[in-house]
Chains A and B, each alone.
Chain A
Amino acid sequence: MKIYVPLDAAAKALGSDDVAAAIVSEAGRRGVTVDIVRNGSRGMVWLEPLVEVETLTGRVAFGPFEIADVAGLFGDLSLHAKALGQTENLPWMKGQTRLTFARVGVIDPLSLTDYATHGGLVGLRRALNMTGQDVVAELVASGLRGRGGAGFPTGIKWKTVAEAKADRKYIVCNADEGDSATFADRMLMEGDPFTLIEGMAIAGLAVGATKGFVYIRSEYPHAVAVMSRAIVLARAEGILGGSVLRSGRAFDMEVRVGAGAYVCGEETSLLNSLEGKRGVVRAKPPLPALEGFLGKPTVVNNVISLATVPVILERGAAFYQDFGLGRSRGTIPLQIAGNVKFGGLYECAFGLSLGEIVDKIGGGTLSGRPVKAVQVGGPLGAYFPRTLFDTPFGYEEFAGKDGLIGHAGLTVFDDSADMLRQARFAMEFCAIESCGKCTPCRIGAVRGVETVDRIARGDAAAIPLLTDLCNTMKAGSLCALGGFTPYPVMSALIHFPDDFRAKEAAE
């Protein structure tokens, strides 16, 4: 009897380890042999721990699973109290286009046999038979843009690195996923680490880099463990090392662990951290593509960008770029979080409206109260009111509404949220996490907290001051931390003016 119990951190946080242990012990008591596979998460976090049993007709899901539900697994499965039917037929699964996350939740994350059976390594093998130039051209044609949030075309970045002349080049994977509401990087590294390895190896071959780093935040101990183990396994199988898949071409990589600094998700700050320095932002130019890690040409890409490379190489640029809208091509793993009924990861083509995502897929709030605001793109993203729910999910579309999609995380708030408090938090967070290099961010954020407090005390004269301060931070900061903190602050102020007046009236 083959039973899947996720090892994903969200599943663990909801008790999957205890469930797995209980299944083993119950099976032992009954003398039944069970093969427990610790898979990644299917992304339906409200159903976690989601246990699956392999049957003749496919995998059948049960959840949210509790210890008390274990005994039922050994009887008639169709009568099980938590039976949900076939996993693939659940509405959440059927509505998706899983390209980057095709294997996550399906395979044993650390089984290379599983990986290869489900299409793994096809992209890398194809890349090995192409010139670096052709691989880069394929990436450019796919329309893939940086999934970390900046949306820069991945292929163009690779082209710059490929054309740079240097004795050494590097591939750096930014896995410092610090934005609240985002967990796609974590889920991918925990659920299908070989995809990231394959994507990085392809990147290395394409641009002529032989060394890669995955910089993972220390808040992700499980991702660090799975990723590190996967690298050891990939090296043992000759996917990494002196001769990638016996091609005679070298690429190897290692995991590096951050140390709790949000700003290190910014690429130049990350590079400094990787070099063993303070995670202070560097001025650009020079671009990291020309002078990156240790001053050498470096590709810095987000986990999802790199993990999407294998499927593009496997199925071709035309296939990938056929999905999406406008200049946002392909699919995007939406991460629906916060006060939401059905929270989790949902990969689909760009173009769904914000309303469809929040109300239809997410099912509205968990509390049952009306949705007041949705913060899109993490702590540096704007708060969207219901009146903007017709905004289609795409880079330009969100920018056009003074927002950003960022790493595609969405935090839903119900009507009990106080938007002045959220604006204050944005400034407070920026003050705590500022690297200190540029003045608008370092001092602006502190002044921002004070100014919001003045507004809270009923000082309406502080409102234009806050607007002015936000303009200064936006225009004058070196990186997105100081430069984008105005997004949540100003969107809260503009779309929810009542919250900035209410306290005044109460005085």
Chain B
Amino acid sequence: MTDDISAQVTEILALHQGREGALLPILHDIQAAFGMVPQEVLPQIAKALNISKAEVHGVVTFYHDFRDRRAGAHVVKLCRAEACQAVGADRVAAHAQNVLGIDWHGTTPDGRLTLEPVFCLGLCACGPAALVDGRVVGRVDEARFDALIAGVRA
């Protein structure tokens, strides 16, 4: 691990010192800083929280949000849950995978775009719903999906 990364982790750990149940907030900050939770930072976190590296690893791998590699430049999340299914989410998802040539969790070869499933964005009365780089979008049909993709790829 480079000194630079280590220094950044130290800074993040200091922010959460003494906090009850600090691990999730720490991991969120780590991912915000590095775009992923790098394996090499786990020992440093473990040491700071006085838990084993295995425990940190267990937590990182339990939650869907934490990545072990960086996502593409843009992340498109499509809702797969029932309310969106009722208005064609499966069809839109198949279209998305087809157009991008990738499966769930895949990144396009140019590294521009990652496609992820999400189970409910709370936009159940205006589905199918999507989250594009943190921006919520409702009523996503095939045409709107294509427009979204064109937008982030431009």
- Which residues of A does B touch, CB under 8 Å? 9-10, 12-14, 45-46, 48, 177-183, 185-186, 218-223, 256-262, 273-280, 293-294, 335-340, 343-344, 366, 375, 378-379, 409, 411-414, 417, 422, 425, 429, 432-433, 435
Contact = CB atoms under 8 A, between A and B. Distances in A.
Contact of A183 (B23, B124, B131): B124
A467 to B, nearest CB: 22
B153 interface: no
Interface string B113-154: 000001111111111010100111111000000000000000
B123 A257 contact: no
B83 A180 contact: yes
B59 A219 contact: no
A9 B121 contact: yes
Interface string B10-26: 00000000001111110
A277 B59 contact: yes
B81 A379 contact: yes
B68 interface: no
B78 interface: no
Given A13-B139, A257-B24, 17 more contacts: A10-B125, A13-B136, A45-B125, A186-B122, A257-B28, A259-B28, A260-B63, A261-B64, A273-B24, A275-B21, A293-B20, A338-B87, A343-B124, A409-B124, A411-B124, A417-B86, A422-B85
Of the candidates B22, B124, B139, the one having the most CB atoms from chain A within 10 angstroms of its own CB is B124
B72 to A, nearest CB: 18
Interface in B1-39: 20-25, 27-28
Nearest to B87: A339
A366 B87 contact: yes
B65 interface: yes
A433 B87 contact: no
A378 B25 CA distance: 28
B122 A14 contact: no
A259 B86 contact: no
Contacts of A375: 82
A260 B120 contact: no
Contacts of A294: 20-21
A140 to B, nearest CB: 30
B137 A13 contact: yes
25 contacts: A9-B121, A9-B122, A13-B136, A14-B138, A178-B120, A181-B82, A182-B122, A183-B123, A186-B122, A218-B28, A223-B122, A258-B65, A259-B28, A259-B64, A261-B64, A278-B58, A294-B20, A335-B125, A336-B125, A338-B83, A338-B87, A339-B87, A343-B124, A412-B86, A425-B85
Contacts of B81: 180, 379
- B interface secondary structure, majority: loop
A338 B22 contact: no
B84 interface: yes
A128 to B, nearest CB: 26
A255 B120 CA distance: 20
B21 to A, nearest CB: 4
Contacts of B28: 218, 257, 259
Nearest 9 CB-CB pairings of A with B: A343-B125, A276-B23, A180-B81, A13-B138, A259-B63, A338-B86, A337-B124, A260-B64, A45-B125
Contact of A219 (B24, B86, B118, B125): B118
Contacts of B20: 275, 293-294
Contacts of B87: 338-339, 366
A219 B64 contact: no
Contact of B63 (A256, A261, A274): A261
A46 B25 contact: no
Of the candidates A276, A413, A435, the one having the most CB atoms from chain B within 10 angstroms of its own CB is A276
Given A12-B136, A259-B27, A338-B82, A279 B121 contact: no
B59 A278 contact: yes
B125 A276 contact: no
Contacts of A223: 122
Given A181-B82, A275-B21, A338-B87, A9 B123 contact: yes
